[in-house]
Amino acid sequence: MEIARTVEEARRIVRGWKKDGLDIGLVPTMGYLHEGHGSLIAAARKENARVAVSIFVNPTQFGPNEDLARYPRDFERDRALCENMGADLIFHPEPEEMYQGAQAFVDIGLLADTLDGAARPGHFRGVCTVVSKLFNIVQPDRAYFGEKDAQQLAIIKKMAFDLNFGVQVIGCPIVRESDGLAKSSRNTYLNAAERAAAPVLYRAIQHGKSIIKKGMPAQMLISEMEKVLAAEPLAKTEYVAVVDAMTMQPVDTIEGAVLVPLAVRVGSTRLIDNFSFAPQG
């Protein structure tokens, strides 16, 4: 496994692979890897001759009062995990390498105005910009993202299509702890009491899944899920929504394929989760 810390090093390695006709899978990450990332690397390993993992805590996707400085980092642990999983390259640049003097950014419209885009202004601009840069540097055939960040996945798929990146964007299922909490690098922020409270998101999802059906008013589902969340004193609901799975715009009634995303603060940690529903017939 090689480690590239500059764009030029990564390009040199990728050029060699391209010359040999090898197809490339990219797993973009911000490091502090967990089994969710592991499942992305495993999927990439299965489907590509070469696998690149990027580890870069991307400053442009954090708001001024967000957790950029304290976002967890452990490169040695990440390196060992990538090596064990058979990755061929880690791209691990410094912020200056990626953004020195940068003036061009990638914006996406409507899809980024709702949900996490509304709660975190500028977040998806930062995500789209860094993912575009990674696509241009690594030139992957396929790129892998977790379904936990469902809006991010929808936005990156649309961006890749609209800007003709020629990359197949692949979503992989959410990986959960045994009590249902979705794996996330941010789970490390939770203290013991908050960690015990955090599976309330999953309980709300389970309840939602048990009652959702075609023709149901979205607000009825939202209220039911909010009730489950309200029963946990350490949890503060930011939103529960029912949106069209493609456009991310709210729906009134459940008719077609929908996404049901939620964002909840447990203590000061913001957790997100979601489920999808497609009515039969």
Catalytic residues: 37
Taking CB under 6 A as the rule, does residue 58 contact ligand PAF? yes
Contacts of 178 (CB under 8 A, 6+ apart): none
Taking CB under 6 A as the rule, does residue 108 contact ligand PAF? no
Taking CB under 6 A as the rule, does residue 131 contact ligand PAF? yes
Taking CB under 6 A as the rule, does residue 60 contact ligand PAF? no
- Return the closest-CA partner of residue 182 out of 212, 205, 158: 205
Taking CB under 6 A as the rule, does residue 115 contact ligand PAF? no
Taking CB under 6 A as the rule, does residue 30 contact ligand PAF? yes
Sign of CA dihedral 47, 48, 54, 55: positive
Q: What are the angstrom distances between the C-alpha of 252 and each of 123, 168, 217, 279?
A: 26, 32, 6, 15
CB of 117 to ligand PAF, least distance (A): 13
Taking CB under 6 A as the rule, does residue 36 contact ligand PAF? no
Q: Out of 78, 116, 149, 232, which residue is the one contacting ligand PAF (CB under 6 A)?
A: 149
Taking CB under 6 A as the rule, does residue 140 contact ligand PAF? no
Measured distance CA(241)–CA(278) in Å, rounded: 15
For residues 171 and 199, which CB has a smaller minimum distance to ligand PAF in the complex? 171
For residues 58 and 237, which CB has a smaller minimum distance to ligand PAF in the complex? 58
Q: Which residue has the tokens 């064990």?
A: 84
Measured distance CA(1)–CA(56) in Å, rounded: 17
Residues forming the site for ligand PAF (CB under 6 A): 28-30, 58, 61, 127, 130-131, 149, 152
